Structure 1
Amino acid sequence: MGLLLLAGLGGAAWLLPAPGLGEPVAAELGRSGVENPVTAVLLNFRAFDTLLEIAILLLGVVVLWSLGPTPWPSSPELVSPALPALGRVLFPAFVLVSAYLLWRGSHAPGGAFPAGAVMGAGGVLMLLAGARPWLSGDVYGPWRWALALGMTAMLGVAFAVMAGGHGFFEYPVELAGWLILLLELAAGLSIALLLFALYLGGEPPADWDTRRPA
């Protein structure tokens, strides 16, 4: 069955018209606000698709958290003694690489999704190293607002440009670059936290920032 599916997808890709949408994207790139065609597609021409992708991640976290609180590790003493030192050394590198990918996304391959994935991996490394998360399951806590930051920012920008007389996600040319930068920052942070929240396996207890494993 898997081979049939792979063959079907390969056949569909083979029948796609060449060169695809590369030429139309290149023709409008000067109006997009960025120099990288991938970023232009993801956060300008087809920003609605990116909004749905972030919404799916957020929905996954909501569904996972609805199943119950995340458990404490049953054997915290089994954490490798090398991991805490490794985490302290590598986490600044994760932050630096994420910032670089966000900056690079405007003119070369990079952007919010790879930056968020790298930052989320850094958070997972710190958790594996035995770090106590700064999380709280409080309904009105900053953790929940940060998880929804990417989708909230994208919807806010989309409705703001509509209020200015443009279409949904139709940025004014003179503001496109700044709006995309804003969305890159918000989406990158939100994606990192969403991936980290999915790794936790459940909703953090309201007192997780003060509790310790038994």
Structure 2
Amino acid sequence: MRTERGTHEPGVMLRGMLAVLLLGVASGLCWLLWATPLAPGLDDAVRAALAQSGVENPVTAVLLNFRGYDTLLEIAVMTSTLVGVWALGPAPKLHERPPSPVLLGLDSVLIPLSAVICGYLLWVGATRAGGAFQAGSVLAATGVLFILSGRRPRIGLPHAPMRWGVVLGLATFLVVALAVMGDGRQFLEYPPGSAKTLILVIEAAATLSIAVILAGLFIGGRPGDEP
């Protein structure tokens, strides 16, 4: 009997050829990685200028000072993403369920603890691993846990706080970037004496915005009564 075209599985020869091809590509990539000399990078340049950045963590110095423009664009992209999701329509209705006593008890412990962890990550980002993105992610997870517990906040004001929270990080970044221009300084070129304070202000605002944006993406649409 004749079988329909395209319904049979690939033959052994075709599978073998595909395996050889993939093996060859993987081998070539491994050889390139092995043969390519290690680039010196910009470690020495970053560490030489670290004292003027206002922070002790080189990662934070690069993200918020030396390459602050890139981070500004990242926050702008995140803000635009949530605006695009809101433009598609309202958030789907969540099924009302009685809150679980176990989940509510867990919330009473995790939510305050998450707030403390968020503050710690924000503050410690100046000297070691941490910062706005880590702190914002923890705060967003707290919001998601709050929503899943059945305590979803009702946001129906014409100028809801959630909207301000979304744009706070980007607006603060832009205000600081423009405010430091003067005395021959360029866009996002912080004065060395106030660099740490300005970076902390930007990170605090960005933390709140990142948390609101990620929680808003989890909701999956414009909050209930928003126009």
User: Do they fold alike, i.e. is TM over 0.5?
Assistant: yes
Change (3 A) 1:8 1:165: farther
The RMSD of aligned alpha carbons is 2.6
Return 98-107 or 76-85, whichever deviates more.
76-85
Counterpart of 2:58 in structure 1 is 37
Larger Cα-atom Rg: 2
Cα distance in 2 for partners of 1:191, 1:61 equals 10
1:194 matched to 2:213 = yes
Query: Which structure 1 residue ranges, 5 or more long, are not aligned?
Result: 208-214
Q: How does 1:1-214 map to 2 (within 5 A)?
A: 15=36, 17-74=38-95, 76-77=96-97, 80-136=100-156, 138=158, 140-206=159-225
Pair 1:67–1:188, CA change in 2 (3 A)? same
Change in CA separation of 1:163 and 1:11 when aligned onto 2, cut-off 3 Å: farther
2:97·2:150 contact (CA, 8 Å) conserved in 1?
A: no
Residue 71 (structure 1) shift: 2.0
Whichever residue aligns with residue 115 of structure 2, its letter is V
Question: C-alpha displacement at 1:130, in angstroms?
Answer: 0.6
Alignment TM-score, normalising by the size of structure 1: 0.86
Aligned length in residues: 203
Unaligned runs of 5+ in 2: 1-21
Write out per-residue CA displacement over residues 2-43 of structure 1, whole angstroms, 9 at most, x where no aligned residue: x969x8699579847533111110010000000000000010
Per-residue CA deviation, residues 127-170 of structure 1 (Å, 9 max, x unaligned), is 001113153363x3222111101100110011111145410110
Q: Deviations over 1:49-103 (max 9, x none)?
A: 11111111111101100111112213x2275442122112110011000000011
1-structure distance, mates of 2:124, 2:40: 25
- 2:7 is matched with none
Q: Which deviates more, 50-59 or 164-173?
A: 164-173
TM-score by length of 2: 0.81
Q: Distance in 1 between matches of 2:157 and 2:183?
A: 37
2:72 partner letter: L
Alpha carbons 1:137, 1:204 under 8 Å: kept: no
How far apart in 2 are the matches of 1:38 and 1:20?
Answer: 14
